Structure 1
Amino acid sequence: MSFAGAVARFNDAAVRDLAWLLFSPDLLSASHAGAPLACPVESDKRAAVSGWLEALDDNPEALHALVRKPSLRRLGLYAEALLEYFLTHGPNARLIAANVPLRAAGQTLGEVDFLLHNARRERLHWELAVKFYLHIGEGAAALSDYVGPNLQDRFDLKHDRLLHHQLGLSARDEFASLGFEGPWRAELFVKGRLFYRQGAAPTLPPELADDHLRGWWMTVSEWQESKGDEAFAVVPRLAWLAERSLSNEEAGTLTFDAGALTSPTMVANYDRSAGDIWRERSRGFIVPDEWPERALRYARLTTT
């Protein structure tokens, strides 16, 4: 079964998001990521995990209790809660600890996302990142050409911090003193989607997986000129993971005025041929007309 099929068959939105987190392609290439990549579902455990998700889809109340807390307003926290539920209750691993703060001399050095034992009883340290970057520029791409929609994040900077700070936390002497018996194998768990200007096909940097999830982006002017009679709706931030189908009523609450957009906004293009159900065709960002110039400056910004 394809990745899309493995996710779309679940009815509950939170279960679909969890399936997306487990089965979606990695953003990073296993051969050039700079560190081992996490494997949340081993090939011989795929059927067991799928069956567990099917049962969860029938009775998702316990999952909802964890991931629908009012305090989980950030997408990263929502994704962490999903993965914590899987590691706590799923058939593939056993959670040892989550969100372990590391302090020294009264200062917080960082936080270890997940410690777990996999099915082979290996001690693993996972650092989770779920990222949505827009590619800016032309020609051969570098990781620095992938920028966050609000220009407060960049893929090369995130990648560097994961490799040279986050993954090393579980190997520090201060961490050993917390009582978690090691050593821990530190692995990257990086999922998400990368968005390319409509019609662009840059040469990918070696760090990226060839099969990473893709979307498109357009300026407001470009979108208004090309949209025709196509149906679009805003994708709320906590719905950025798995694809969504909408009822007519739901779609009506997510309409937008592109001319009034002041910041990049994720939208989905929908097929309305199925009566009262809007089925998602693609994901993209609509950005203000001046955004590409600012984004290019941010991509070229040298940091120290």
Structure 2
Amino acid sequence: MHDVIEGLADPSVRDLAWLLFSADLLRAQPPLAPLALCFADADEVRATLDWLAQLDRDPARLHATLAAAPTTRLGRYAENLLGWFLAHGPAARLVAQNVPLRRAGVTLGECDFLVRTRAGERLHWELAVKCYLYAGPGNSERASLAEFVGPNLRDRFDLKLSHLRDHQLRLTTHEAFASLGYGGPWRAQMFVKGWLFYPAGAMASVEDAPELAADHGRGWWVTRSAWPAFAQREAAAGWSVLPRLAWLAPRTLTAEPRGREDSVVAASTAVAPPADPATLIAALVRPHDPVLVAAFEADGAGGYREQSRGFIVPDDWPARAAAFSRQ
């Protein structure tokens, strides 16, 4: 995945490439939750790489589409990117997006994507982009999905997977769907991307939950009081806070400012120039909330590239997170 996005400069194009080529967070969960496959064969992969390179040279239409549907929600931003690819890319084609299901005026759910492959197969994709922190004991026992929690302790990976498998992926088999005119049957697949964050220095000691893909994206988390010593050990060129819409692809910061289109489209994904650890902490807008930061290294051309990412959490967060994982 790193090689795919390395040559791409536009942040939104990099995020789209990350969605398409990054590792899944989960293994397939048969029979109800197989994985979505973006490409039918190597020819579609090659065509997509060429298409992304061309899009990176001229991203104006993508920027216009994103600007027409502004959002502060990471999941919605990811949906907008994937919808663009399915509408304009060289692989599977978009049939419909965000299809609501209602019965007697009650909303039962919403199908994220109805997709038709070039071979004519009908697919129902449910997209989720998640960032969870491991709140387990980190001993020799295997981790469980319940021990992966959202930074603000309002979400848990086991609950998300259950809802995805038992509700969202079944929507196209519901009798209310048959009346919408999309035909069928539709084969449901999960499209789950993101990052999992482990206690700094303890990643290697955590045995993954069996549901997790072995090559999932990984980062670290550290408490506020442990942050100064941790940052000193990391020996980064500088640190930046990652705003929520910059949580997808690893970030790069160029020496030259971006063009006009970025001032419109990517304002909410803009990453400040790297600073030293103390300056970063002093500049936090909400210092008592978990915050995602990235360590940057110099790229040799006057810019920076991300070398790692992780959450700084309040000192009482580990105890609260452990309790939340057991609820």
Q: Deviations over 1:266-299 (max 9, x none)?
A: 0001113636312210011111111111111110
Checking the alignment, whether the CA contact within 8 Å between 2:198 and 2:220 is kept in structure 1 is yes
Helix, strand or coil for the counterpart of 2:167?
helix
AA aligned to 1:251 is A
Q: Deviations over 1:78-102 (max 9, x none)?
A: 0000000000001101111000000
Q: Deviations over 1:15-58 (max 9, x none)?
A: 10000000000001136685110001233211011011111111
CA distance in 2, matches of 1:31, 1:109: 23
**What's 1:43 paired with?**
41
Q: Tell me whether 1:223 sits opposite 2:223 in the alignment.
A: no
**What's 2:263 paired with?**
none
Q: Deviations over 1:50-72 (max 9, x none)?
A: 01111111111111112234631
Residues 146 and 225 (structure 1), Cα distance of their counterparts in 2 relative to 1, 3 Å cut:
same
Checking the alignment, whether the CA contact within 8 Å between 1:221 and 1:289 is kept in structure 2 is yes
**What's 1:90 paired with?**
89
Checking the alignment, whether the CA contact within 8 Å between 1:220 and 1:289 is kept in structure 2 is yes
**What's 2:292 paired with?**
266
Match of 1:203 among 207, 221, 233: 207
1:78-157 → structure 2 map (5 Å cutoff): 78-137=77-136, 138-139=138-139, 140-157=142-159
Q: Tell me whether 1:232 sits opposite 2:239 in the alignment.
A: yes
Q: Deviations over 1:128-164 (max 9, x none)?
A: 0000000111232000000000111100000000000
Helix, strand or coil for the counterpart of 1:116?
strand
**Structure 1 residue 119: deviation in Å?**
2.0
Match of 2:11 among 10, 13, 20: 13
CA distance in 2, matches of 1:142, 1:5: 31
Match of 2:171 among 150, 169, 172: 169
Gaps of 5+ in 2: 258-270
TM-score normalised by the chain length of structure 2: 0.87
Q: Tell me whether 1:257 sits opposite 2:281 in the alignment.
A: yes
Residues 67 and 167 (structure 1), Cα distance of their counterparts in 2 relative to 1, 3 Å cut:
same
Residues 168 and 31 (structure 1), Cα distance of their counterparts in 2 relative to 1, 3 Å cut:
closer
Gaps of 5+ in 1: none
CA distance in 1, matches of 2:13, 2:68: 16
**What's 2:323 paired with?**
297
**What's 1:64 paired with?**
63
CA distance in 2, matches of 1:281, 1:220: 20
**Structure 1 residue 106: deviation in Å?**
1.0
CA distance in 1, matches of 2:322, 2:176: 40
CA distance in 2, matches of 1:270, 1:32: 39
AA aligned to 2:4 is A
Residues 172 and 32 (structure 1), Cα distance of their counterparts in 2 relative to 1, 3 Å cut:
closer
CA distance in 2, matches of 1:132, 1:32: 23
AA aligned to 2:287 is L
CA distance in 1, matches of 2:301, 2:49: 30
Residues 110 and 273 (structure 1), Cα distance of their counterparts in 2 relative to 1, 3 Å cut:
closer
AA aligned to 1:181 is G
Checking the alignment, whether the CA contact within 8 Å between 1:268 and 1:282 is kept in structure 2 is yes
**What's 2:264 paired with?**
none
AA aligned to 2:280 is F
CA distance in 1, matches of 2:303, 2:6: 14
AA aligned to 1:175 is F
**Structure 1 residue 221: deviation in Å?**
1.2
AA aligned to 2:18 is W
Query: For structure 1, which segment, 197-206 or 13-22, has the greater mean C-alpha deviation from structure 2 after superposition?
Result: 197-206
Helix, strand or coil for the counterpart of 2:280?
coil
- Provide the identity percentage: 51
AA aligned to 1:296 is A
Query: For structure 1, which segment, 254-263 or 240-249, has the greater mean C-alpha deviation from structure 2 after superposition?
Result: 254-263
Checking the alignment, whether the CA contact within 8 Å between 1:147 and 1:299 is kept in structure 2 is yes
